[in-house]
Amino acid sequence: MATVLNTQFGIDGHLVFKMDASGLIVAEINNELGSASLCLQGAHLMSWQPKNQAVPVVWLSTDAKLAAGKSIRGGAPVCWPWFGAHATESGFPGHGFARTVPWRVIESGTEPAGETRLTLRLTPSDKTRAQWPHECTVDLTVIVGATLRMEMRTENTGTTDFEIGEALHTYFQIGDIGAVSVTGLEGSEYWDKVGGSNLRKQDAEITFTGEVDRVYINNEAECVIHDEQLKRRIHIAKSGSLSTVVWTPWVEKATKMGDMGQPDGWRQMVCVESANAIENVVKVAAGCTHTLIVEYRAVSV
């Protein structure tokens, strides 16, 4: 299978498909501007490092495992067609099924400035229709270079409207959770998922001294992670996304999760997720398309 993909979509030394020991296929991208890897199951970007950064910008747990039907801890899981728990079916998977089902490669190429582009597509199967009975295609394009751009395009190919919740649930690599702040959400309202579900307002920059699990709503602002230890800022710009989820599990939850990696691996990550959740779920009318776009860049300071 990797051989067929390499023949059809491989790009000399810049895009290579390899089969992992688990039997899953991983696309490895490496060009003059940056490197990345992406598992075809879930269209799950696992890593990204621009050449001008000594440390990856996207965090992957040292305990991350590739396994059929299982999500990978870290990277940029694709949450779709719902975010968080399913509204009515407790047996359906958290964050939807997109991150655990196979996607197929439909296109690859090189951008004029040398970035590598790869597009994967999810189409309904009997298994997904049993949980979400709508006709659609979902395309995820990643453009890997000194910046990382991800475009997630949902097309309603059926004859009835549907609603989706979604997120690019990206884990960012940081020096230490106690020494970072996130700006861009000042003045925004958020649903605080820690200790119940309460609507609050963000007064100042976000800092971390315990578990944080918040869905900021009605805000498309660029967010910035300020990292004192790694001496860099990570910029997160987006469009087609009115929610931003900020999440750190902190020690108790991380210990329960059991896959956050090397002792205190959770301290080296923070999630800033570009989403459409809760009141920002998106209606996609029959025949119409909705696109969520993010662009990440790291600036040394």
Q: How far is the CB of 247 from ligand BG6 (least distance, A)?
A: 4
Q: How far is the CB of 146 from ligand BG6 (least distance, A)?
A: 27
How many residues bind ligand BG6, per CB under 6 A? 9
Enumerate residues 228-267 that contact ligand BG6 by CB under 6 A: 245, 247
- What letter represents residue 1's amino acid? M
Q: Which two tokens stand for residue 96?
A: 């939807």
Q: How far is the CB of 259 from ligand BG6 (least distance, A)?
A: 9
> Which residue in the set 139, 151, 166, 213 belongs to the binding site for ligand BG6 (CB under 6 A)?
213
Enumerate residues 114-153 that contact ligand BG6 by CB under 6 A: none
Q: How far is the CB of 231 from ligand BG6 (least distance, A)?
A: 27
| Cβ burial, residue 158 (10 Å; 0-12/13-18/19+) | middle
Check if 107 is active-site: no
Would you count residue 190 as binding ligand BG6 (CB under 6 A)? no
Q: What are phi and psi of 202, to 5 degrees?
A: -85, 120
Question: Could you tell me which residues are beta bridge partners of residue 224?
Answer: 183, 235
Check if 32 is active-site: no
Q: How far apart are CA 196 and CA 181, in angstroms?
A: 24
Would you count residue 294 as binding ligand BG6 (CB under 6 A)? no
Closer to ligand BG6 by CB, 39 or 144: give it: 39
Would you count residue 44 as binding ligand BG6 (CB under 6 A)? no
Q: Which two tokens stand for residue 263?
A: 């002792």
Q: Which two tokens stand for residue 172?
A: 């960012």
Q: Are strands 189-192 and 212-216 parallel, antiparallel or unpaired?
A: antiparallel
Residue 26 DSSP symbol: E
> Which residue in the set 14, 86, 95, 232 belongs to the binding site for ligand BG6 (CB under 6 A)?
95
Catalytic option among 28, 151, 169, 279: 169
Write the CB contacts of 73 (distance below 8 Å, at least 6 apart in sequence): 60, 61, 63, 64, 65, 257, 259, 260, 261
Catalytic option among 115, 151, 166, 273: 273
Q: Are strands 166-168 and 78-79 parallel, antiparallel or unpaired?
A: antiparallel
Residues making contact with ligand BG6 (CB under 6 A): 71, 94-95, 169, 193, 213, 245, 247, 273
Active site residues: 169, 273
